[in-house]
Structure 1
């Protein structure tokens, strides 16, 4: 499956990963269906942010409220691996919900997208969309 991602969202994820290093960055992928229109960086509130991430719960609640009021939908999540590949780690696989959401992972200088399917993560290809 191919998804579309805006250049602005891609640049935001790359910037968030660089600014958070050596901690994990995280955030929300916003858009519709398989189109990532926006990236919203959130605080990583995990007690060990060097090796784990936890989205700020209030940011997630606020994004879902905005979506109910007609804003973009929360279609997935982003986080970085300061030391590691742009692929789901054992920790990622253990915490995945299998809900079909898109996960974007930054690691080793690259960004990769994954779908969190009930059977496990599936790699996604993507195209860059200009606004």
Structure 2
């Protein structure tokens, strides 16, 4: 991933605290970009739910030749950059990347058939 993506994710998390930020990762790795979305969860301090209108728009744009929906991101304002119990329960196995921001770091996870698996990350200036 690029250092600019990681810094943008940290910035969005800090800006949204104490609520969880969330959004989409668009484009191809390692040059994906973050698109912030509204967190429409009933409990935005404890959970995230990406605005379904933004998610549907991203899928439509991808089908029309726009940027690929590479994955999703969200923050844990009071926790580590690791999937919570809820995150693991909501994982769909779609193969996309989840970026989680917490405790000052950003970690990337693959949503695979076996659940969320930590990815090794190489940071480039990109």
Q: Structure 2: how far apart are the matches of 1:23 and 1:86? A: 15
Deviation per residue, 1:38-88 (Å, 9 max, x gap): 110101000100000000111111111221222211111100001111000
* Count of residues paired in the alignment: 126
Choose 58-67 or 107-116, whichever is displaced more.
58-67
Where do 4+ consecutive residues of structure 1 move more than 3 Å? none
Which secondary structure does the structure 2 equivalent of 1:127 belong to?
coil
In the alignment, is the contact (CA less than 8 A) between 1:6 and 1:38 conserved in 2?
A: no
Q: CA-atom RMSD, angstroms?
A: 1.3
Match of 1:118 in 2: 113
Q: Structure 1: how far apart are the matches of 2:73 and 2:64? A: 23
Q: Structure 2: how far apart are the matches of 1:86 and 1:38? A: 19
Q: Structure 2 stretches of 5 or more lacking a match?
A: none
Deviation per residue, 1:64-114 (Å, 9 max, x gap): 122122221111110000111100000001111011110000011111000
Q: Judging by fraction of residues, say which structure has more strand.
A: 1
Query: Displacement of 1:36 after TM fit?
Result: 4.2
Which secondary structure does the structure 2 equivalent of 1:126 belong to?
coil
TM-score by length of 1: 0.90
Q: Structure 1 stretches of 5 or more lacking a match?
A: none
Match of 2:13 in 1: 17
